[in-house]
Amino acid sequence: AQSVTQLDSHVSVSEGTPVLLRCNYSSSYSPSLFWYVQHPNKGLQLLLKYTSAATLVKGINGFEAEFKKSETSFHLTKPSAHMSDAAEYFCVVSDRNAGNMLTFGGGTRLMVKP
Amino acid sequence: NAGVTQTPKFQVLKTGQSMTLQCAQDMNHNSMYWYRQDPGMGLRLIYYSASEGTTDKGEVPNGYNVSRLNKREFSLRLESAAPSQTSVYFCASSGRTGGIAQYFGPGTRLTVT
């Protein structure tokens, strides 16, 4: 069965410093992996997706993630945090063994201090 | 192009009452989904519809029913609401089932007292 673990429920950074949100997954086949962002009282917006092409994936708003099969990880990074990045972030996995359904991690709340 | 729309945005129900959450998409997507979001648990799939005329259970279907009214619309019904159904409900759509990105509506915040 597929599963996703987001290793930190809360991350706090200062504006202008790097962001690292950690995600580990479990999947039987080559998975598709996604990061979504949810701003307060809003729906989810797709940040980026990995679907077996390049292992370093660039997304919107300066975010990127690297697929590391040997470590079963898909960590999200950004070189310099902005106040507008404060939100909840979800790592999501999908694979054929689970009917291609999405499985969500529990979420990481990112706080950005001025 | 509104994407995925949901109504209502907020709802308060008493235990035992019924209601229907509405969802519509204008992206000509084949697949539609209903999720619930609870603190610390991410989103969990309630029901999905791979294409018009089909519906299937997800991870947490008990207490819910769905109708795929046409290609655009997918409704979620609570026949007899329970406090355990207090949650935020999201509708999503995608071009086909699985493996590709889903597009989410703004959510419905439901409280059952």
Average pLDDT estimate for A38-67:
90
Q: Is the pLDDT of residue A29 over 80?
A: no
B contacts of A44 (beta carbons < 8 Å): 43, 90, 92, 104
Average pLDDT estimate for A71-94:
95
Of chain A, the percentage scoring pLDDT greater than 90 comes to 69
Q: Which residues contact A2 (CB under 8 A, 6 or more apart)?
A: A25, A26, A27, A28, A31, A93, A94, A95, A97, A98, A103
Average pLDDT estimate for A91-105:
79
Of B88, B97, B73, B69, nearest to B23 (Cα)?
B73
Mean pLDDT for chain A overall? 90
- Nearest chain B Cα distance for residue A74, angstroms: 16
Average pLDDT estimate for B38-55:
88
B98:A9 CB<8 A: no
Q: Residue B97: what pLDDT?
A: 60
Q: Which residues contact A53 (CB under 8 A, 6 or more apart)?
A: none
Q: Residue A112: what pLDDT?
A: 97
pLDDT band at B98 (very low <50, low <70, confident <90, very high): low
- Nearest chain B Cα distance for residue A52, angstroms: 11
Q: Residue A94: what pLDDT?
A: 83
Q: Which residue has the higher pLDDT, B78 or A40?
A: B78
Q: Which residues contact A62 (CB under 8 A, 6 or more apart)?
A: A78, A79, A80
Chain B residues within 8 A (CB-CB) of chain A?
Answer: 4, 40-45, 48, 58, 90, 92, 97-107
